[in-house]
Chains A and B, each alone.
Chain A
Amino acid sequence: QKEVEQNSGPLSVPEGAIASLNCTYSDRGSQSFFWYRQYSGKSPELIMSIYSNGDKEDGRFTAQLNKASQYVSLLIRDSQPSDSATYLCAVNPTGNQFYFGTGTSLTVIP
């Protein structure tokens, strides 16, 4: 079992819709959770971090964490074509390693 599991997609949504990306993790002791965005041919860049159960909002992005279910999600409201990318979920269980999922490919259709 991989440390972090994501649906690889591809996920397609129309412009203006809400995109929902999901991630589960295996280490119940994990404390830090991250969403990275990776454009094709580019390196990952951090868009959200979350440490406590519940929701965290930043502009059009909302991260949701449920530690009991070992589940992290990312919602993108009012999706734009520029949001088309691969979204990587990452978990930091020990402070020394960041485990990444395989990523979910998102396409926003104009």
Chain B
Amino acid sequence: GAGVSQSPRYKVAKRGQDVALRCDPISGHVSLFWYQQALGQGPEFLTYFQNEAQLDKSGLPSDRFFAERPEGSVSTLKIQRTQQEDSAVYLCASSTSNEKLFFGSGTQLSVL
């Protein structure tokens, strides 16, 4: 596909469950960003990769959040022991030049 692909589109988790969210960026895009967007809020920065290197993870809210991009393409955001406050839309974006972000459709996570 030509765009950023995220899966699953929707995820319902029981509190305490681990979840893994996948992002497949546009081919050739070096930069990959993860954002968390709560209802009625703007996207909040979580972490940034340049190729396989995680250059900034300052936005990850706790050590329950972990992201990886082992081969510099597909990235996975993992949330361990999910809590209700983790409920949000998780957006992935990729870019060639850190100038224009191309967003995926997001994963809507609901923690019950």
A4 cross-chain contacts in B, Cβ below 8 A: 42
B43 interfacial by beta-carbon distance below 8 Å: yes
Q: Is A46 touching B100 in the complex (CB atoms < 8 A)? A: yes
The complex places the Cα of A110 from the Cα of B55 at a distance, in Å, of: 47
By secondary structure, the A interface counts as strand
**Assuming A43-B91, A44-B43, A102-B42, is B98 touching A96 (CB within 8 A)?**
yes
| Identity of the chain B residue whose Cβ is nearest the Cβ of A2 in the assembled complex | B42
Q: Does B106 contact A (CB under 8 A)?
A: yes
B96 to chain A, nearest CB (A): 13
Residue total for A at the interface (Cβ-Cβ under 8 A): 24
**A100 CA / B41 CA spacing, docked (Å):** 9
Interface members, chain A 83-103 (any B CB < 8 Å): 88, 90, 92, 95-103
Beyond A43-B91, A43-B106, is A100–B100 a contact (Cβ under 8 Å)? no
Query: Measured between C-beta atoms, what is the minimum distance from B4 to chain A in Å?
Result: 8
Question: A45 near B: Cβ within 8 Å?
Answer: yes
Instruction: Knowing A97-B48, A98-B45, A102-B41, say if A49 contacts B106 (CB, 8 Å).
Output: no
Residue in contact with A98 in the complex, picked from B41, B101, B106, CB distance below 8 Å: B101
Q: A43-B104, A96-B56, A98-B33 are in contact. Are A103 and B42 (CB under 8 A)?
A: yes
Main secondary structure of the interface of B (DSSP, over half): loop
A residues 74-90 near B (Cβ < 8 Å) are: 88, 90
Does B44 make an interface contact (CB < 8 A)? yes
Q: Are B43 and A88 in contact (CB under 8 A)?
A: yes
Q: Which of A42, A46, A95 contacts B101 (CB 8 A)?
A: A46
Q: How far is the CB of B51 from chain A (nearest CB, A)?
A: 13
- Does B85 have its Cβ within 8 Å of any Cβ on chain A? no
Complex-state Cα separation, A92 to B48, whole angstroms: 13
Q: Is the CB of A101 within 8 A of B103?
A: no
Chain B proximity of A6: nearest CB distance (Å): 8
Question: What are 11 contact pairs spanning A and B, CB under 8 A?
Answer: A4-B42, A34-B100, A44-B43, A45-B103, A49-B100, A88-B43, A97-B45, A99-B45, A100-B45, A102-B41, A103-B42
Those 3 A-B pairs whose CB atoms lie nearest each other, nearest first? A100-B42, A43-B103, A102-B42
